[in-house]
Structures are given as C-alpha cells and as structure tokens.
Amino acid sequence: MSGGLLVAGTTSDAGKSVLTAGICRWLHRQGVKVAPFKAQNMSNNSAVVVGPDGRGGEIGRAQAMQAAACGLAPDLRFNPVLLKPGSDLASQVVLLGEAVDTVTAGTFRELRPRLAETAYAALAELRAAYDVVICEGAGSPAEINLRAGDYVNMGLARHTGWPAIVVGDIDRGGVFASMFGTVALLDPADQALISGFVINKFRGDLGLLRPGLDMLHRVTGRPTYGVLPWSLDLWLDAEDSLAYGQVLGRPAAPHGTEWLDVAVVRLPRISNATDVEALATEPGVRVRLTVEPAELAAADLVVLPGSKSTVADLAWLRETGLADAVLAHAAAGKPLLGICGGFQMLARSIHDPVESRLGTVPGLGVLPLEIGFEQRKTVRQSVGAVGPGLPVRGYEIHHGYVSSADPAVAPLITCADGSGEGMVLGAVTGTHWHGAFESDGFRRQFLTEAARLAGRHGFRVAADTSFAAARERSLDVLGDLVEEHLDTDALWRLIETGPPPGLPFIPPGAPPG
C-alpha cells in the first residue's frame, strides 16, 4: 500500500485529530508503515521532540499522539510549523521545532511562503520514508479568506493530488449544512479532491440519520464513509483547551472512602493543559477546569497550569478575583500546584522583557523565588527523581527561569545532573516540568500528600493505575472505532488510487484560484 489522505473538517474541534489518529492506528494494525502529518498547527499544547542535532524541539501534542498511534516516536517533520498564540493578535512561530519569530496576521502573510516551502519539504521526506502519510488539516478548508496562501488544507491536497475527506461534529448541530457548504464554497479543482464525509460524535438511532446521509450523497455526489459514535473514553491528549468540558474524563470510583476534588484554573492562554489529564486517570480524583473563584474555595487541590503569556494571565487572575481565591486557598494550608507558567505566577516577582515586555511585575508571592525571562526558549526532555529512587520524567518549554530562590527551600526534583528543579514549601508545589505526573509513582505520592494536606484522610490512590496504559487504551479505542464504523475498504482504495474520477461540481463554488 502507498499513498496518502487529507482529513479535513467543517470546523475546528470537529474531530480531525482523533480521526487521523484512528486511521493511523487502523493502518498500523494492518502492518502498513504509516506516519501522521500536519503542515501547520495552531495550539499551545505541544510536545518536546529530540531533533537530529540532539536539541529539543516542539510539535503539536496531537501529532505526538498520532505518532504513538503509528507505533512511532515523535518526529519534528510530523508538524513542521507550529503557531503558539500569545495574544489575540500575535503568535510565536515554531519552525521544525525551533521558535524563529513572532508574527501578527499582517506579517504572517510575508512569512507564509517560507513556511509552506518547509512544510512541503518535510512532507516529501516523509513520503520517501513511509508507505502512507495521513495528513490532518486545520480549521476548515472552506476558510476562503485564507485560501490564496493555504498549504495545510486544500493547498496541501492540491500539492499532493491526494483525496480529502471532511469530518463534521454532529453533536454541535448543522452537520449536513456545514458539509454541503464546505464543498460548495470551494473552487472546481479543490472540489475534485473532496471525496466524501465522516460524521463524528453521533448519539442515537443510526436509522434516523440515514435519510440525511442519503440526501447528502444525492446533492454532493459524495458518500459518507461512516458515522463515529460518541465515546466518553476519548478525552486524553485533546488538541486544545476548547475540547475540555467542566470535568475531565470519566472519574472512576475512589479506592478509599473519599474523593479528591481538583480545580484547575482555565487561563485565557492556557498551555499544555494536558498535564492535568494524568491526575484525572486516578480513581477517586475529580478534575475540573474552572474560571469561578467559588469553585477554587471548594476544591481540595488547586492547580495553576502552564500559560503562553504568564504576566498577562496573572493580570487576568487578579482582575477576575481568582488570584484572591488562590491566595486564600494557600493561606488555609490547602495544597496548591503551579506548573510552568503557573509556577512562575507563584513567585515574589517576575521580570519579563520577552513575552509581555512589561519589565518587573509582582507575582503572587507564595514561593520565595524570583523569575526572569530570556529570549532563547528552554525546550528539552528531562529526567530526575523525587526522594530516594522515585523516577520522574518530563519536558520543559519556557522562556522563564528561576533567577534566584531561597536556598533553604528544598527543590521538588533532583535532576539527572544533580541540580534541583521546582520547589516545595509546605502545601505549595511548583515545577517547570510538563508531563511529570505521567510518572505513576510520582503522581501517586503527590496525590497522597495532597489528600493529607486537604484533610481527605479517606482518600487512597490505586496501586496499579498506569497513565501509559490508559493512553494506549485510548488509541486502541480510536482504531476500533475506525474498523467498526467506517468503510475501511473504501478508505483503503482512496489512499491507494486517489480521488474517485468524475466527482460533480457543486455550485456556486469559488472562482478558480
């Protein structure tokens, strides 16, 4: 088997990432040498990959998850362009893993030809190295205002000649109109590559949906390759924070007599929010994302997660009253955790000439340390231990660093080189490491201590919870859904032979580009 496929979507969060991962998993099970690809991702959830030169680089976390679905280690070429929004008007550009620029909508147009060239070169290398490449689009291919310079949706499909399938989220409503409209807004050459549809997150009687599927086929000349049911098991490694509801996952009943309630502040520029998913895999741990001060007051453990804009999000905490709620929680001796940007917010002061360019601003003052910012971003995988013999692995992505700290306060983690990382002071814990709670022993120890500090003496961690196994189960669920609910024979033909000939043009269409 050889070829490729573009998974496009009617909207952001329609299911492109999970469908791409599911198709990758299905092909991997068939013995196909398959790789994922997303030419350009816009997300503050990223994973660290060690590049060919030994340095750490970033790709979208969804592409790291898709790599795992293929049985592969993450590769910088799987997501050559990553845009990390720092505000509503500007994004950091990460090119083949390295931050190279910060752009606005206007300046991005000037940079786009270089980004497209890099993306196409990475794809060419993947095509040479793998039998099949499954590409994920971005947003919607019908964003006609952006079509002229597109290299991630129909621009990519046109470049390769590969077929595209369009996935839509029926749970949001309007799925048939959005699918028809997606095709009808494209120019003839783009429409010739749109080969069919997949409906995502369906709940109910499939027979009630059949008349709509038949009419969609009649009016577009394109089939629906399957209907994926809603699954509560698909919550790990969400593409971005838009995918989160109030409670993460499916909390299992506690092993002890009490629950541990965790409130995670949903910052405006939250980054690597997937850190708290590891906590949510533990039985008896209920993890909520919130912007309500009252919910912090009721929580056992409060988490300040990562942020792409530490100083701006800290100002937002103060404006919303959340900062006062965080401080009251800490003053009561209840456990508080800061991760990366959230850790930086806990400092006495933050000197930031890089992200916000506001100079020195006061932090929350919960931990006795000072934070500085430097132009070059720290991007690396990290290994260490907590206490005697409790290994911890994580990764770092930050401009901020601890410029000074009270030497009397012990670090959280002893790194492999003997240095210390993070800080623990009473009930307050801070670390720059993302992914640390995926280390099962460390997570269990942390939650046990958090429960003690919160007075939840009836809480007990499970002895056998494995985050890695939970992630593998989630990927297997995706592969099962594709095998059971999609026309895999038709998908196989699409990948091998390309778009079906003679697909009809749906007016009005965009002018030929």
- pTM metric for this prediction: 0.92
| Residue 244: pLDDT over 60 | no
Alpha-carbon distance of 140 to 12, in angstroms, equals 7
Q: pLDDT band at residue 236, thresholds of 50, 70 and 90?
A: confident
pLDDT tens sequence across 414-439: 998 889 999 999 999 999 999 999 99
Q: Measured between alpha carbons, how far is 266 from 276 in angstroms, rounded to an integer? A: 11
pLDDT at site 239: 61
Q: What is the dihedral of CA 10, 15, 20, 24, to 10 degrees?
A: -150
Summarize the confidence of residues 7-21 as an average pLDDT: 93
pLDDT of residue 393: 95
- H helices present in 306-428, as ranges: 310-320, 322-331, 341-345
Q: What is the largest CA-CA distance in the chain?
A: 74
187 has a pLDDT exceeding 80 = yes
Nearest to 75 by CA among 47, 40, 45, 115: 47
Rounded distance, CA 341 to CA 115, Å? 28
pLDDT of residue 242: 44
81-85, 131-135, 140-144, 264-268, range with greatest mean pLDDT:
131-135
What structural domains does the chain harbor? 3-234+471-493 (3.40.50.300), 260-461 (3.40.50.880)
Query: Is a pLDDT exceeding 60 seen at residue 64?
Result: yes
Over residues 383-395, the pLDDT tens digits come to 999 987 899 999 9
Catalytic residues: 340, 434
| Mean pLDDT (whole number) for 104-108 | 81
Task: Give the position of tokens 């409060």.
Answer: 302
pLDDT tens per residue across span 493-502: 999 999 999 9
Burial class (CB in 10 A: 0-12, 13-18, 19+), 205: exposed
The residues with which 47 forms a beta bridge, in sequence order, are: 59
The amino acid present at 448, given as its one-letter code, is T
Other CB atoms closer than 10 Å to residue 477's CB: what's the count? 17
Mean pLDDT of the chain: 92
Q: Letter for the amino acid at 11?
A: T
- If one compares 319 and 107, the residue with the highest pLDDT of the two is 319
Q: Are 457 and 445 within 8 A, CB to CB?
A: no
Contact of 209 with 227, CB cutoff 8 Å: yes
Per-residue confidence (pLDDT) for residue 249, from 0 to 100: 79
The pLDDT value given to residue 238: 67
Pick the most confident of 247-256, 273-282, 400-409, 453-462.
Answer: 453-462
Average pLDDT over residues 152-167: 97
In this predicted structure, the answer to whether residue 245 has a pLDDT above a threshold of 60 is no
Q: Sorting pLDDT into bands at 50, 70 and 90, what band is 241?
A: very low
State percent of the chain over pLDDT 90. 76
* pLDDT-wise least confident of 69-73, 239-243, 326-330: 239-243
When pLDDT is cut at 50, 70 and 90, the band that residue 55 belongs to is confident
| Residue that wins the pLDDT comparison between 351 and 233 | 351
- Calculate the alpha carbon distances from 497 to 50, 70, 123, 133, 141 in Å: 35, 22, 19, 14, 22
Taking phi over 0 as left and psi of -120 to 50 as alpha, with beta for the rest, 470 belongs to alpha
Contacts of 290 (CB under 8 A, 6+ apart): 246, 263, 264, 265, 266, 296
Buried b (16+ CB within 10 A) or exposed e, 14-53: bbbbbbbbbbbbbbbeeebebbbbbbbbbbbbbbbbbbee
Span 274-324, pLDDT tens digits: 889 999 999 999 999 999 999 999 999 999 999 999 999 999 999 999 999
Of the pLDDT bands very low, low, confident and very high (cuts 50, 70, 90), residue 491 is very high
Please compute Rg for the chain using Cα positions: 23
CA dist 36 → 71, 282, 416, 428, 464 (Å) = 11, 30, 32, 40, 31
- Interacting residues of 447 by C-beta distance below 8 A, sequence separation 6+: 260, 279, 282, 285, 459, 461
The answer to which of 29-33, 134-138, 289-293 has the lowest mean pLDDT is: 289-293
Nearest to 20, CA basis, from 110, 135, 124, 99: 135
Q: Which residue in 82, 6, 137, 109 sits closest to 495, CA to CA?
A: 6
User: What is the token pair recorded at 391?
Assistant: 């290994």
CA distance 364 to 317: 10
- Residue 221, C-beta contacts closer than 8 angstroms, at least 6 positions apart: 503, 504, 506
